[in-house]
Structure 1
Amino acid sequence: MTRAVSPDLPARLRAALDARLQGVSRNAAAERAAAISRTYRDGGGSAVIAGETDALAYALARMPATYAANVASLNALIEARPDFMPATLLDVGAGPGTATWAAAEALPSLQSFTLLDANEALRRLALDLFDESGRQVYYPRGDARALLAKAQAADFVVANYVIGEMGEAERAALASLMWEKTRDTLLVVEPGTPAGYARIIALRSLLIAAGAHVAAPCPHDGPCPLAAPDWCHFVQRLQRSRAHKQIKGADAPFEDEKFAYVALSRASVSRHASRVLAQPEAGKVEVAAKLCTPDGLETTRVPRRDKAAYAEARRWRWGDAVSLN
């Protein structure tokens, strides 16, 4: 049984962020975070992050949630591939290094970390955070796309909330190039919106046609069985720190991050578990769960009279991989 990594930021990263926040107006940082969020919602990209305060505001507002989504995706990948022990990581569109932090926590076999991003403010912040925590990474300056074309292949390639910032043709070209640089497994994480899901499905189809196999979340390499307006996404709850609440202007002690993802491997997964696609309904008579199975979509009903199966089904949660007897 593999150990699931916590969705909360590692203590070293929290400490490094808190240290960077000293002497910075939290009101100013909150205003910049809100402006950056509006730009992203309106279809803009990371170009709006133009300086040190912008980069810190973005990291404080978004790093906890994107880290949690990456960890949830990594936990699912490791459960499906317990033998996955990559040594090298390539983080495409790395920003402040969120996906690298998550991968390093989830995969202790990793020894080499290469990060690529065109945004200089985010790159500088990432290097500061890694330096303060003692982690060594390679994060060259320059155009991310050009650097990716010249980069060495890695065992594990990650792209975290990146492909939504480009057009369809550009996304397809980037997907193909990332797969070319992938020795073993590629993980792509996007917002858990219908548009984010559509991008994941398009990339999934393109790379399956190029020989990839799905490791997670899908229990098969076939077409997605969901039909609009439904879409495949998951939710990860994370705790908010005091600084996170201040930057977000929020009172709730937690946040629920919706995300969509796909992990694609060179080798096929020998045995796929079914995936829980929504929070199961647990009643006194039965547990009803919407599952994506190796044979397609189905609603499974586990009656209470089957005591062992019923007790197990009551523990199922949205996003879990489950085996049906």
Structure 2
Amino acid sequence: MPAPLNRALEAVLDGADADALRRATTRLIDVYRSGAPPAEQVLRDRVAATAYAAYRMPATHAAIARVLRYALEVDPALAPRSLVDVGGGTGAAAWAAVEEFDVLESVEIVDGSADALAVGAAVGRHGPPALAGARWTRRDLGDGAALPPADLATVAYLLGELEPALQERVVDAAAAAADVVAVVEPGTPRGFAAVLAARDRLLAAGWHVLAPCPHEQACPLAAAGDWCHLAVRLDRTALHRRLKGAALGHEDEKVSYVVARRSPVPPSVRPSGRVLRHPRTRKGMVALELCRADGSASEEVVSKRQGPRYRAARHAGWGDQWPEGGTDPAD
């Protein structure tokens, strides 16, 4: 977790009732591990919202930050000056966006939980100027009201908690408000299904995929009964370990995502391949499972005889871009 967010969380959590936070964290873990959309407001009080910020915000922040970096790797010119964080809760996506885009000036977080917004605003006051001055707006996302216009809309860890019809309305509202939309969900079959539905809806509306897909055709993993996701590793703080009852000093947050934009993605910008799983390294070779620009998914085995391409394969990671054919990857 980056030091600014860590310090901000510690400042807000200082003096909080540790036992109450642990009990609330246990309830939240039970809800999120159930695999079903919650039947009622999850962050129903200030303690629950504070526990969520302490136990989930580090992981969701790390995942969203990595997603935005993937988008920047495809298009380094991406430079939003305004953000609307839809269903942003305690503001993890806003923190990630402010850190990844140094030109970001205007931030608005929209959510249905007043308690989550209050905790998020308290944490944000310890952050960079764009967060300290952010607007935290309570709104029922099902009321059909338009979202404030922005260069970038983030819809993170939200759609999987909504009924399909409401998911569609939220995606449509984000697309109407912004020029770039980032949808992020847990890297589970259900989370991926929500991302895939959002991707399909954006493509049907004439939008264009920036990341992770190197194409705009049907997802080859979905066609094979699989799901597209990746893992983001983050360090746990001492408080994080205590609240989760965890022994390890790190955790891996699995995430599915799509970043799309209103304007076309030039062929020269779009990646020709994406690594779908952890590369498998054997003596003298690396096996990469790839999503390809032609809409297929297949394995490529890179041998030591391929020189620079083999060295690049040894450094490739799950989720990274990968070039096709004989073109050697950039160092």
Q: TM-score range by the shorter chain?
A: over 0.9
**Structure 1 runs of 4+ with >4 Å offset:** none
Instruction: Measure, in 1, the Cα distance between the counterparts of 2:72 and 2:193.
Output: 24
Gaps of 5+ in 2: none
1:159–1:188 CA contact under 8 A, matched in 2 = yes
Out of 18, 24, 30, the position equivalent to 1:26 is 18
- Count of residue correspondences: 315
Amino acid at match of 2:175: W
Aligned partner of 1:84 in structure 2 is 78
Aligned partner of 1:317 in structure 2 is 317
Instruction: Measure, in 1, the Cα distance between the counterparts of 2:224 and 2:180.
Output: 29
Q: Please give the TM-score of this superposition, normalised by the length of structure 1.
A: 0.93
Q: Please give the TM-score of this superposition, normalised by the length of structure 2.
A: 0.91
3-state DSSP of counterpart to 1:86: coil
1:27–1:247 CA contact under 8 A, matched in 2 = no
3-state DSSP of counterpart to 2:136: coil
Percent identity, please.
37
Amino acid at match of 2:236: R
Gaps of 5+ in 1: 1-7
| Residues 85/46 of structure 1: CA separation in 2 closer, same or farther (3 Å cut) | farther
3-state DSSP of counterpart to 2:107: strand
Deviations 1:287-323 (A, max 9, x none): 1100101012121111111122111111111000122
Aligned partner of 1:176 in structure 2 is 172
Out of 219, 230, 237, the position equivalent to 1:234 is 230
2:146–2:173 CA contact under 8 A, matched in 1 = no
Aligned partner of 2:303 in structure 1 is 303
Is residue 276 from structure 1 mapped to residue 268 from structure 2 by the alignment? no
Deviations 1:115-167 (A, max 9, x none): 10010110100111112335210112342444x72333211000110001111
Amino acid at match of 2:198: L
2:69–2:100 CA contact under 8 A, matched in 1 = yes
Is residue 245 from structure 1 mapped to residue 237 from structure 2 by the alignment? no
1:94–1:159 CA contact under 8 A, matched in 2 = yes
2:146–2:177 CA contact under 8 A, matched in 1 = no
Task: Identify the structure with bigger relative contact order (alpha carbons < 8 Å, sequence gap 6+).
Answer: 1
Out of 140, 158, 161, the position equivalent to 2:154 is 158
Amino acid at match of 1:150: A
Amino acid at match of 2:227: W
Root-mean-square deviation over aligned CA pairs: 1.5
Shift in Å at residue 50 of structure 1?
2.2
| Residues 239/32 of structure 1: CA separation in 2 closer, same or farther (3 Å cut) | same
Shift in Å at residue 25 of structure 1?
2.8
Instruction: Measure, in 1, the Cα distance between the counterparts of 2:310 and 2:111.
Output: 48
Out of 192, 197, 204, the position equivalent to 1:197 is 192
Aligned partner of 1:3 in structure 2 is none
Aligned partner of 2:43 in structure 1 is 49
Is residue 139 from structure 1 mapped to residue 151 from structure 2 by the alignment? no
Aligned partner of 2:209 in structure 1 is 214
Instruction: Measure, in 2, the Cα distance between the counterparts of 1:243 and 1:47.
Output: 25
